[in-house]
Every structure is written in structure tokens, then in C-alpha cells.
Amino acid sequence: MPSVHFRLLILFIAAFYLNACEKDKAPKTMSFYYWRTGFSLDTLEQRTVQDNDVRTLYLRYFDVDWGETDTAPMPVAILQFNTPPANFTIIPVIFLRNRVFQKLDSNKTDSFVAQIAGLVSHISTSILTTPREVQFDCDWTETTKDNYFRFLRQYHAKTNMLVSCTIRLHQVKYPDRTGTPPVDHGVLLFYNMGNIDAGAGNSIYDRTIAHRYTPSLRSYPLQLDLALPIFSWGLQVRNGKVIQLLDKMNAAAFEKDTNFVRNGSRGFAAKHAGFRGGYYFQENDAVKIESVSKDDLLEIVGEVNRHSNHRIRNVIFYDLDSQNLQRYDKGVFHEILDHID
């Protein structure tokens, strides 16, 4: 039977190696997307990034689209800076409409890359930052993957920057069809997975739909960050059909409006015709509010932990906006981060 000293030695060695493994395991970090056209942080936004030791912001620099009359893809909604984003590591994010790659001539990829890289550099220089990484957000398809992946490869070759891109759940489940993008790492967007309709479901997050896709994380070849939804929106419903999405509208926007009455646990109804938040409502129009609770976020993290083989690096919350932040308790973001394996 081993002596007491021997058993103590074994325990000491085990504790030493366990501690070494913990040190080798890089700590998870938290960051936020910023998705407005003018950069300026209000008091709540500033307090949130300070309280959570947020050091990295993913700034949407601009979108790229191909309008009906355009002869080439054009940058639109370029981010303007009311105040510079001081004391942050900045990662530019470029949103690319899928139709850009439906129309783009493969022979013009070089010039397109140069156009995008030039504008990214110009914006970065204007705010005195030199980003090491750029991220592209595009919901590519089987028919556009070749053009999109060519763009990603050539952008990396031209700029020598780290290149990341967003990944949707369907792209995780069907990489044999949609391909695996040639990037340094991906960001799994865990939201916008259901149908936008007047039914009882939640188009931002639906656990039943999510579960159809998450087992595929086990075999997905890219290292991933996890983007979690903290936004909400409203759906304007008339005669049982959604007629428009009410961006950045939550329950608080209607609870204090005397022209709206509660209509179910997540809905409101207009008593009279009128405007709210720049949107016009007819009498009896319904509003369905969709959002994601703290419990939903913890559920998402649990689901991802079960299937990702501990390959999630960091968490990015979408997005940094007081209208979103005020719906959560102060400590919720650290709590979510602490639950990531």
C-alpha cells in the first residue's frame, strides 16, 4: 500500500499539472459589435464597456451593395465619427450583400479588393488606428461561394491582415454545399434563425431550430468566436401578416404610449391610427416584440458548449446600444462569458 508521503507527492504532481493546464488555457474575452452609422457612446454604453473591461470593438465601417442602376458594387452607409473610439482595439467589419458576388465579374476581383482595402485604410487612418484584423459579414450561398472565397483570399494576400468572417448556422451544417471560407477564424452568428411572421415563434432565437444545427459544430473545421444577440425588434402586423420590421424597437417603446394596449405577453395593439418611432400604424395594427432573455443566452451557451468541443474562443455581443443594454442586469455579460467552456 502506498505510503502517505507517496500519495501526497502524487497529489502535488497532479495539482501542478492541472495548474499548468489552466495557465495554458487562454482566458475568454468579451467584446461588442457597434452597428450604427455614427460613432458616439452615451453614458450607459461607456459604463458597460468599462464595467466589463471591454477592450475590443467590432465597428461596422460600411456596407457594400449593388443597386439597380449601379455598374459596380458601391460602399454605402459609411460610419461617421462624432468622437474617436479611443482606448479600444478596433476590428473593422464590412457587410457585403450576397448579390455583390452574384454580379461581380471574377476578373474584377483585384480592383474590388483594392477599393475595399483602400476605404478600410482611409477610415482607420482617420481615427488613428491600425487594425490587425478585418472581418467580413456576408450570407453567401452555394452559387456565390467561389466569388466570395476568391475575394477573401485576395484581400488577405493584398493586405496581409488577419481575415475573419461571419458564419451562419446553415453554413456550419452544410459545409459540403456552402464550403468553408478561407479565413483565419470565423464568428458563429447565433441569431436570426426563424421565420419572421405573426406566429408565436421568435425569429431571433428558437431553441428547436438551433438544435437542428448545433451538433454540426463538432466537426466544423474553423476556430470560432460566438456572437450572441442582445437586440430586440418589433414586427408590425396587419390582418395577420407582417408588413414591416420595426428596428431597435422594444416593449418599453410601447408600454408608455397611451395609444397602444397590451395584446398578449409579447405584443401590443394600436387603438388609433398614428405614428410611433417614425413608423405609421393603422387602427388595430398589432406589434409583436421579439427579444432574447438572459435565460435564453445561458441556454445558447449551454447548447454550444455541448457540441463545440471547447473550440469557442471569445464572445461578441450584438450590439452595443443603450436600447439593448438597458434590458439586462449589470452583471449579465460577465455571467454569460463565465459559462463558456
CATH of the domain at 224: 3.20.20.80
Calculate the average pLDDT of the chain.
Answer: 91
Taking a C-beta distance cutoff of 8 angstroms, is the pair 336, 315 a contact? yes
Question: What share of the chain has pLDDT > 70, as a percent?
Answer: 92
The answer as to whether 12 is a domain residue is no
116 and 252 co-located in one domain: no
213 and 326 co-located in one domain: yes
Of 12-21, 167-176, 210-219, minimum mean pLDDT range: 12-21
266 and 318 co-located in one domain: no
Question: What share of the chain has pLDDT > 90, as a percent?
Answer: 82
The answer as to whether 321 is a domain residue is yes
Label residue 9 by pLDDT band (50, 70, 90): very low
Residues with Cβ within 8 Å of 263's Cβ and at least 6 positions away in sequence, in order, are 269, 286, 287
Cα separation, 166 vs 322, in Å, equals 24
Residues with Cβ within 8 Å of 283's Cβ and at least 6 positions away in sequence, in order, are 270, 271, 272, 273
Give the range of the structural domain holding residue 143, as residue numbers without chain letter.
28-231+291-338
The answer as to whether 11 is a domain residue is no
pLDDT of residue 250: 87
pTM of the model: 0.90
37 and 95 co-located in one domain: yes
Is residue 105 pLDDT above 60, yes or no? yes
pLDDT of residue 14: 45
151 and 267 co-located in one domain: no
Mean pLDDT of 219-239: 96
182 and 169 co-located in one domain: yes
Strand ranges in 21-88 using DSSP code E only, listed in sequence order: 30-34, 38-39, 56-65, 74-76, 80-81
Is residue 114 pLDDT above 50, yes or no? yes
The 8-class DSSP code of residue 328 comes to S
Domain count, the chain: 2
The answer as to whether 209 is a domain residue is yes
